[in-house]
Amino acid sequence: MKAIVDCNNFYCSCERLFQPRLENHPVVVLSNNDGCIISRSNEAKKLGVVMAGPYFQSKPLIEKHKMAVFSSNYNLYGDLSWRVMETLRMIVGKKNVEVYSVDEAFLNMDIFSVDELPAIAAEIKDTVETWTGIKVSIGAAPTKVLAKAANRLSKKYKEQYNGVLVLNDQEKIITALKQTQVEDIWGIGRQYAAKLKECWSIYDAFQLSRMSEEFGKTHLGGVVGARLIRELKGITAKEMQEELVNKKMIATTRMFGTPVKDIESIKEAVATYTSRAAEKLRRQYSAATVISVFVVANAENHTVDFRGATHGDSVTLPSATAFTNELIKSAVEIVDKLFKAGCTYKKAGVMLSGIVPDNSIQGNLFLSENKNCGRKLMDMIDNVNFSQRDDVLKFAATGTTRNWKMQQNYISNRYTTRWNELFEVC
């Protein structure tokens, strides 16, 4: 049996945790640069706030109902996510937890008997909510796809299931499949859902589960479709996966707070993003052999293309490195190639790839000893910045004013990761 633990309206829940007055009050959380709505409470949903819609379009509705609005606070969300996942690891064991996203994790429930699963799932829910303050829903079933369906129903019919639904017999599975519309199946997008309805009159998960694996392979994306059909039939096709400790690619991208026209501001932004990526690289004791940079121009005609043109380039480094200064040097050289005078830019990003373990890098015999000890300097900078926060030590290339920084006009405190922003009880 597999279970999925899903944090309810996670970003909104994180904000409510330290502002109890917002319980049962409509809350929305905005994306980077306060652009779009990326999380909304159930109260905001009922009032008609559109998910992923531009903030400016929903602003009149939000102001009319006096909804609470927050900018994305990823320091807070990341820390609370870690606490939820650590709680799950303590309950069922590290090897039985697969972190699927910032607010979801699969659990291997084979360590428990099928009959005791409803009580165990309810206990897991109560423990997570008591220890972390984040409310969760749990769905359990023989496969991951069925567990996702159970989880969705546990939230949809909250009063009936109290946030926990375990499909531990065939009758419950069939009932859940019939209650799940085809567009709500994990792995079925809008286009596939429309095709299934129009061409084969398949409207729910139960009807799709009656189809053959060959049908899934032919009409639902090859092997992925065949696995989906198999999982709907209750046959495991997606096993638990071990957490990916070392990433194969590291990227840092951000929207600018205001459109940027000068090359120096873009260089500062790219240097800053490179520093962030380099920190992540060193955190996993790795080095990169390729660095890529891209910039996104403002669209000239928003009615034709609101995304804007993306321009990018990459270089292979002389040798694998995790040193911020070496990576910044290559990154700003790429900016010189990409920048076009007269253009206005709204976003930039840096990606590190060709990642290898840093203990495999050979020193240079033709450099002095102190030049080969750059890792010690980087470690010292990382330790100071981690303990003091907010880039106490930084390279001059990253700038001092940073007028291009993304807007966060409604940011809350970083209650769990900053001493000077700890929650105060009066």
For the chain, the structural domain boundaries read: 3-75, 83-232, 250-398
Per-residue pLDDT, averaged over 48-74, amounts to: 93
The pLDDT of residue 245: 66
User: Which residue from 382, 395, 399, 390 is spatially nearest to 419, judged by alpha carbons?
Assistant: 390
Query: What tens digit of pLDDT does each residue of 184-233 get?
Result: 999 898 899 999 999 999 999 999 999 999 999 999 989 999 999 999 99
pLDDT for residue 381: 87
Whether residue 369 is predicted with pLDDT greater than 60 in this model: the reply is no
Contacts 24+ apart (CB under 8 A), 244-247: 245/284, 246/284, 246/286, 246/355, 247/280, 247/284, 247/355
pLDDT of residue 126: 97
User: Which of the residue ranges 124-138, 149-163, 246-260, 377-391 would you say has the lowest mean pLDDT?
Assistant: 377-391
Q: Residue 304's pLDDT band (boundaries 50, 70, 90)?
A: very low
The pLDDT score that the predictor gives to residue 368 is 59
State the pLDDT at residue 419.
81
Mean pLDDT over 116-126 rounds to 95
CB atoms within 10 A of CB 194: 12
Task: Look at residue 174 in the predicted model and tell me its pLDDT.
Answer: 95
Is the pLDDT at 406 greater than 60? The verdict is yes
Q: To 5 degrees, how large is the angle CA 143–CA 147–CA 151? A: 175
Answer whether 3-75 and 250-398 agree in fold. no
Q: What pLDDT shows up at residue 306?
A: 52
- Mean pLDDT value across residues 272-296: 93
**To the nearest whole percent, how much of the chain has pLDDT over 70?**
93
The least confident of 32-36, 173-177, 240-244 is 240-244
pLDDT for position 76: 93
Tokens of 150: 């159970």
CATH 3.40.50.300 fits 250-398, yes or no: no
Assess whether pLDDT exceeds 70 at residue 244. Answer: no
Maximum distance among all Cα pairs of the chain, rounded to whole angstroms: 73
pLDDT digits (tens, 9 = 90+) for 12-56: 999 999 999 999 999 999 988 888 999 999 999 999 999 988 899
Which option is the CATH number for 3-75: 3.90.1580.10, 3.40.1170.60, 1.50.10.10, 3.40.50.2300?
3.40.1170.60
> What does the DSSP assignment read for 382-422?
HHHHHHH-S-SS--GGG-SS-TTPPP-TT----TTT-GGG-
Residue 69: pLDDT band (50, 70, 90) is very high
Tens digit of pLDDT for each residue in 325-368?
Answer: 999 999 999 999 999 988 899 899 999 999 998 877 766 666 65
Asked if residue 390 has pLDDT above 90, the reply is no
Mean pLDDT of 286-299: 91
Burial label, 96 (beta-carbon count in 10 A; 0-12, 13-18, 19+): middle
pLDDT for 231:
94
Tens digit of pLDDT for each residue in 146-169? 999 999 999 999 889 999 999 999
pLDDT for the residue 370: 55
- Say which residue, 362 or 139, is predicted with more confidence: 139
Phi, psi (deg, nearest 5) at residue 188: -105, 115
Average pLDDT over residues 49-77: 92
Predicted local confidence at residue 303, as pLDDT: 47
